[in-house]
Chain A
Amino acid sequence: MNAIILTAVWGIVMMLSGAFIKNKSIPKYLAIGGIVITIIANCRELLTGQLLFAIDVKDMLHTTGTNLTFITIMLACTLLYFLLNGRDIEKVGDHVAEYFALIFFVLCGVCLVSTFNTLLMLFIGIEIISIPLYILTGSDKRNLKSNEAALKYFLMGAFSTGLMLMGIAFVYGGNPAASFFLDKINMGAGAMPVMIVIGLVLLMISMSFKVSAAPFHFWTPDVYDGAPTVFTSFMATIVKAAGFFAFVRLFDNAFGSIQPQWQKLIVIITAATLLIGNLTAVFQQSVKRMLAYSSIAQAGFMLFALFALSARGRDGLVLYTAAYSLATIGIFAVLIKMNDYTIDGFNGLAKKQPVLAFTATIFLLSLTGIPATAGFQGKFYMLLAAVGNGNHLWLVILAVLCAAISAYYYFRIIQAMYFKESNEATTQDWDISLSFKILLIIVAAIIVILGISPDLIINWLHFEA
């Protein structure tokens, strides 16, 4: 609750600061301050249940230890993202304060979809996330690719929003209580009126679209590639994680009792996502585009939370999104500093920028899922949940084979950085401060610590004030 209000208010503060403050570097500090305040308020709510504003939400929002921990993780990731990329956000264009304001609005949406208890709140949350993202994607106004990406994203996004609304309408009409509340929709095992089924399928399609699960992923590579890299980083991590969290919450609470009936659909989506994401990523030459496909591939693993729909799967999802977000934010922060986004552009980076190369290696190892990194623990929990479900063990085997494929494209970058000589024709000025390097090391350290002790996150998920 605290986080929802504070992020919304701070978004407005940021907008106003754009009108009154001409100095370009102040918005960054203002934004960092805002996020720190929000984190503190949110942690306070988690620990003591203390609310800053007593608002009766009529049970339309529901806060638990899991929700609040998830929001804390997302806010912390945003903080790291601001700290790492603040200067690069300033470089995107003239409207620095507005970019930050839009990001805060997205965060407000993230908090909403993490706590929703009715379909209406879900819809509002998803829209609050999406609309600022359309703008951020097109924020590099003079770049045709950015414009194209924004338009594509907007058209496809609007279409999926339409489907979602229609799905909500069917579900609303299909349940006897005519209610938007999740627990009312959930009518117990075997109760499957046609309207509910249609609504369920429509909701599944639109949510799959939001989290870029195949076969609804076609917008992802183009949008991620076209958007300014700093915003791709934000979209691929925090937004995607929130989308998944909402996806699982929705299907768990509203349709959990009829899971055996729709599990087959999820199996198909998961298998397609894993295969398409991993196999296409192998052929990419641009690291940015490769990371776009890799984000689809990683979505395949996150879908196991829906497949299993167990307590362990939910815990695992939070761990997975945290691990994935940290590593992806890190690798994008390194990527932004490169002039050349192709894999060859990374050649010999270890000699020129040892810290960047070393931390990037940790991030890539985490994405691959090597033990002693957070990524391994995420994958491990997901596999644990999936095997625990007992059905469709072939899907688990497929997933680990895909993880082996993912080693191929992630390790290509490591190979380029460490084992190949740089083509010395391109010397570039490195705009890298000491604090940036220290931050990268901190992110890498967090990944390793979480990899050794994931209980640091897992224990908080079951915390009740």
Chain B
Amino acid sequence: MQTLGLRFPELLLWSPLIAGLLCFIVKSDKNAKALALFSSLLTLAISFATLIYADDKYLSGMMDKYTWLNSIGASFQIELNGMGRLLTFLTAFSFPIIFIATYKNTYKNANAFYALMLLSQAGLMGVFTAMDALVFYFFWELALIPVYFLCSRWGGERRIQATFKFFVYTFTGSLLMLVGIIYVYLHTQPVRDANTGAILNEHSFAWASFRAALFTASAQKWLFWLFFVAFAIKMPIFPFHTWQPDTYEQSPTAVTMVLSGIMVKMGVFAVIRWLLPIFPEAAADNSMLIIGLSVFGMIYASLIAIKQDDLKRLVAYSSIAHIGLMCAAIFSAKQIGQAGVMIQMFSHGINIIGLWIVVDLIEKQTGVRKISQLGGIANKAPILTIMLVVIAFANIALPLTNAFVGEFMMFNGLFQFNIWYAAIAGLSIILAAVYTLNMVQKVFYGQTNSITENVKEIALNEKIILGVIVIAIFVIGIFPQPMLNLTKDVAAVILNKGQ
């Protein structure tokens, strides 16, 4: 036992959790805001350290394990592996960006707002580091509760219905997953003491035990769906996506960024961490169907996005299309495709946050989100426009941008799996170009009108944030190797069950 107990995975968890609880107590809105920003920067620093000391077994906490529920053999086990490191870094990186970008927004009861934001960050960190199924389920739900309150309290006009729909969808999915978790748990092998061989516990919730669990092929079939539905709702995959546009539209922008930038990655992440390694045969059996749904969802969402007049809804549907591609690439079960998913999870996270920041800036200045009512912003705010154009290019996955690397690899994997699916999915790139460029053209170019006349150039904090995102887009786009190295072990794990 180490004497100094705190290691990276725990620090990542504790720092937002404690800051979040403190925020509830802080009375002044200004202090709460500062505290939230400070804690998110602290988390970012810790997360940086996890990348630098990635090889240090002690600090990275490859085996952080405390007995939690002794009677049923659940232990509080968290660790950082390649994918966990990537996604915790995405979480740590996004929150300061979100806080700084929305620093001037004022909220009623700002302390509660920031407290809930930080608690959701803590929940996300838990999801990405958990190596025990019960711990994973705990955080999976706990990340949802703060978001429920954030959206319902500070959202738009129809927020209560929209958020509630979101909540019921995800809660139902989670409960089905819980039944699945319990079933797998009851089919795990007994845990034995390493030295004596005595049975410590009949069953275990640990990831490794789940992976080694034995059950019949028919059980695997329905278990797969219990888990997959929960994850598909979160991602979301057609036809489980109907909560998503409404929720994105009605949530306060900071929360929409969390939802679309990080939370949807929970679903993708969970499929890779918890679904494929445990049910490889069922995943292979169902891959045609699921990739079919994903590809159909991509085209469907892209077509709807073209029709959208509301900026937020446009970004929401574009996000469904991108996530669909990730899901398809995961189930294509090709190493290059899955490596692409890793990099794309990060890229999509920052790109979409960038898009939301721009949408939010426009809405704050003009008060409208309708594409048809806007125009000519480029004349008034050239820097904003340049930034937006770069982010928009990344959204279409043009070469040199970060999304290109990921999408190229994912299409590569999909192509190897089935050429027709790849061809149809490829259409979505063209459609993405249609709706993105159409939006850029109508909103930023052309003549200014009465609504956009008074648009001003963006402020310094917004310039910095968008600048950081743009730089990240190019850096990853040109030099993705470090990120690929970070997660290279993951694809190997997925593809080699039972060896």
A interface with B by C-beta (< 8 Å): 312, 315, 365, 370-372, 380, 383-384, 387-388, 393, 396-397, 400-401, 403-404, 407-408, 411, 415, 418-420, 453-455, 458-459
- Which are the 4 A-B pairs with shortest beta-carbon distances? A400-B175, A404-B172, A371-B138, A371-B141
Q: How far is the CA of A418 from the CA of B108 in the complex (A)?
A: 13
Q: How far is the CA of A296 from the CA of B172 in the complex (A)?
A: 21
Q: How far is the CA of A419 from the CA of B176 in the complex (A)?
A: 28
A387 in contact with B182 (CB, 8 Å): yes
Q: Which residue of B lies closest to A312 (CB)?
A: B72
Q: B168 contacts the other chain (Cβ, under 8 Å)?
A: yes
Q: A387-B179, A400-B176, A419-B160 are in contact. Are A407 and B167 (CB under 8 A)?
A: yes
A419 in contact with B145 (CB, 8 Å): no
Q: B186 contacts the other chain (Cβ, under 8 Å)?
A: yes
What residues on B are CB-neighbors of A407 within 8 Å? 167-168, 171
Q: How far is the CA of A154 from the CA of B179 in the complex (A)?
A: 40
Interface centre among A365, A380, A403 (most CB of B within 10 A): A380
Contact residues, B249-295 vs A (CB, 8 A): none
A418 in contact with B141 (CB, 8 Å): no
Interface centre among B68, B160, B185 (most CB of A within 10 A): B160
Q: How far is the CA of A404 from the CA of B176 in the complex (A)?
A: 10
Q: How far is the CA of A355 from the CA of B478 in the complex (A)?
A: 54
CB distance from A318 to the nearest CB of B (A): 12
**Contact sample, A vs B, 19 pairs, CB 8 Å cutoff:** A312-B72, A315-B71, A370-B145, A383-B179, A384-B185, A387-B179, A397-B179, A400-B172, A401-B175, A407-B167, A407-B168, A408-B164, A415-B152, A415-B160, A418-B149, A419-B159, A419-B160, A453-B68, A459-B70
Q: Which residue of B lies closest to A372 (CB)?
A: B142
Q: Which residue of B lies closest to A415 (CB)?
A: B160
What residues on A are CB-neighbors of B176 within 8 Å? 397, 400
What residues on A are CB-neighbors of B167 within 8 Å? 407, 411
Q: Given A372-B142, A380-B178, A387-B186, 5 other A-B contacts at CB below 8 A?
A: A371-B137, A371-B138, A383-B178, A387-B183, A415-B164
What residues on A are CB-neighbors of B153 within 8 Å? 418-419
Q: How far is the CA of A315 from the CA of B70 in the complex (A)?
A: 14
What residues on B are CB-neighbors of A418 within 8 Å? 149, 152-153
CB distance from B255 to the nearest CB of A (A): 14
B141 in contact with A384 (CB, 8 Å): no
Q: B52 contacts the other chain (Cβ, under 8 Å)?
A: no
What residues on A are CB-neighbors of B141 within 8 Å? 370-371
Q: How far is the CA of A459 from the CA of B68 in the complex (A)?
A: 13
What residues on B are CB-neighbors of A455 within 8 Å? 69-71
What residues on A are CB-neighbors of B182 within 8 Å? 380, 383-384, 387-388
Q: How far is the CA of A396 from the CA of B178 in the complex (A)?
A: 11
A388 in contact with B186 (CB, 8 Å): yes
A372 in contact with B138 (CB, 8 Å): yes
Mask of B335-353 contacts with A, CB within 8 angstroms, 1/0 = 0000000000000000000
Q: A387-B186, A411-B167, A455-B71 are in contact. Are A400 and B149 (CB under 8 A)?
A: no
A404 in contact with B168 (CB, 8 Å): yes
Contact residues, B230-264 vs A (CB, 8 A): none
What residues on B are CB-neighbors of A396 within 8 Å? 179
